[in-house]
Structure 1
Amino acid sequence: METDGKNLRRGWTTGTCAAAATKAACQALLTGSFPDLVDVELPNGSRPAFVLATEEKGDGFARAGIVKDAGDDPDVTHGALIESTLRRTETGSGISFKAGKGVGIVTRPGLPLSVGEPAINPVPRQMILAAIHEVAGTESDFEVEISVRDGETLAEKTLNGRLGIVGGLSILGTTGIVIPFSCSAWIHSIWRGIDVARAEGLPHLLGATGNASEKAGQAFYGLPETALIDMGDFIGGMLKYLKTHPVPRVTVAGGVAKMTKLAQGMLDVHSKRGLADLEALAKLAEEAGATSELLTAIRNANMVAHAFQLAEAAGIDFGNIVAQKAWVTAAAALGRDDIALDILVFDRDGNLKGRTAPTPSNRAAPISEGPIG
């Protein structure tokens, strides 16, 4: 694929690697030898082939490993060794899954797996089953243990802990393919975070665009970690999922620049989607009574934070103005009368600059809850 004029290589999910390693281990367990190359069928019908990185046979088991290649995606599991160990089980017992070292266990409801299950997602499980059936037939009886070298350490860089997956990584993938810089994985993590929060009956969720606004918003409302949704730039992705998977209340929190973009109608606030419009900020300042000198200064500001500083120095409450405009955009995406919505605007140091009242999204734009001190 190509982005920004560069050809980017696609890669393979942990689920694809686990399925291929399982197939190789199954062949070794049944025939006594490992394949030189092992192919596996993806959900789209294609069949990539892999070279084994590790091979081991023992009394009643076979183990194979594949090093994950995520292509040009900045995936934390790129280069990780994904291993599958197969053991024979009683006739008629079918296929069972076990979390090996570096693979997590589900401890909270709301995920597409039951509490206590290995964090091997449904599509990878289907791929693993299909791989075994290709080698051993559909009446197969094995325990499949998936492990990831250094998976416990790698999991610290993911949202697994917040989702209640402890002890390691999840084995993921819905297509089997990693698309470089795809927003799909992030969107799915937002959805799973909402699912977990709903399963726990949490009445109030907070979606934040970044770490600083998340910490500030959590402290402002005293929310538990499971109520925090790392939505990043995908405000629309979170709100549209909440529209069909509602909670009583949701707060959207972000820094001044990203909340200004939301105020200007952008639901994806990544820098590549466009810059905050300083001219639009100047119009807001003009509506608030700014002088012509201030309007010129805002239009020529080097960034949104600078424009906020200029307005505040002149006594204009940009924070609450932007918060109310941002609420209008977010409310249109949410569009429910049974969800209270509010906005928090923070500066880069986590200081509150603007907010709105929690108001159902089919009502008129809310009035801010007093001055920000």
Structure 2
Amino acid sequence: MTNSSPQSGYTLPVFACASAIAALKWLRQPQSLNTVLLDLISPPETVEIPIDQVAGIREGMALAITHSNPGDNLDITRNTPIWAVVEWGQSDQIEQIRIVGGEGIGRRVNAEGKAAIYDYGQQLLQKNLTHLLAPNEKIQVTIILPEGRKLAERTSNAAFGIVEGLSLLGTTGISQPLSVPDQLDLYRQELQQKCQKIQVAADLVTDVTDGLLVAIETLPPTDNLSVISATSVTPSA
């Protein structure tokens, strides 16, 4: 019987970006989307991310939803919904892509309350959305974590200056399985196998020891051995 290895998943910024891609595609042309392709940047590979829902909200605005899948990992964000609302930018918008933190995205106390969407999340959104836009097009992307504020209460975010929600943190798109029950079971099985090997070795040592004791017990007394030894070396008359 073989044990399946723990599976990796993706970090929150990946799902936020996938939602934004789907919403932008809807803006471009209303369509049903089951998945989108996304460049992770780190690592440099393209992956396919499931889209749960996508729809128009009003003229020039669309919403798409994904659900977090961190793989076989103890992560409180598992299955949490990630929304992205994408709308065409206003005429006074300077940047081509404006990224906004909505409900459930934490605020950085030490950065004038800016949204806790860090460098990797920013880069992911910028790179994957830019090539879908014409040079003269501008969009605003609002990332929303409906359960973010509640989930944040179970973290130590506030101690690090992040309040009112979760952060889109990380330096990679891959969520590695670091601590999961299945991993603990695997360690337990490996330990049992090692213990069994140790027991086999211990049994072997016991058998050898018992054999030596039996052999010693069957030897003649020491005095008799001395007589036999002395007699065997005495020359005949």
Normalised to the residue count of structure 1, the TM-score between the two structures is 0.44
1:104 matched to 2:106? The reply is yes
The match for 1:280 is none
Offset from partner CA, 1:94-133 (integer Å, 9 cap, x none): 222222111111112xxxxx32211111111110111211
1:36 CA drift (Å): 2.7
CA distance in 2, matches of 1:74, 1:7: 15
Offset from partner CA, 1:299-347 (integer Å, 9 cap, x none): xxxxxxxxxxxxxxxxxxxxxxxxxxxxxxxxxxxxxxxxxxxxxxxxx
1:138 CA drift (Å): 5.1
1:45 CA drift (Å): 1.9
| Count of aligned positions | 173
Aligned residue runs from structure 1 range 280-359, under 5 A? none
Aligned residue runs from structure 1 range 1-373, under 5 A? 7-43=5-41, 44-59=43-58, 60-91=60-91, 93-94=94-95, 95-108=97-110, 114-137=111-134, 139-181=136-178
Q: Which amino acid aligns with 1:85?
A: V
Q: Which has the larger radius of gyration?
A: 2
C-alpha RMSD of the superposition: 1.7
Identity of aligned residues (%): 27
1:34 CA drift (Å): 4.2
CA distance in 1, matches of 2:137, 2:121: 18
Hey, which bits of structure 1, 4+ residues long, moved more than 3 A? Answer: 137-140
Mapped contact 2:86–2:140 kept (Cα < 8 A): yes
CA distance in 1, matches of 2:86, 2:124: 15
1:93 CA drift (Å): 2.4
CA distance in 2, matches of 1:83, 1:99: 11
Mapped contact 2:26–2:54 kept (Cα < 8 A): no
Q: Which amino acid aligns with 1:29?
A: L
Mapped contact 1:25–1:34 kept (Cα < 8 A): no
1:35 CA drift (Å): 2.7
Mapped contact 2:34–2:52 kept (Cα < 8 A): no
The match for 2:184 is none
1:153 CA drift (Å): 1.0
Relative contact order, higher structure (CA 8 A, sep 6+): 2
Q: Which amino acid aligns with 2:94?
A: S
Q: Which amino acid aligns with 1:40?
A: L
Structure 1, unpaired ranges of 5+: 109-113, 183-373
Mapped contact 1:99–1:118 kept (Cα < 8 A): yes
CA distance in 2, matches of 1:169, 1:138: 32
Residues 30 and 153 of structure 1, relative CA distance in 2, 3 Å threshold: same
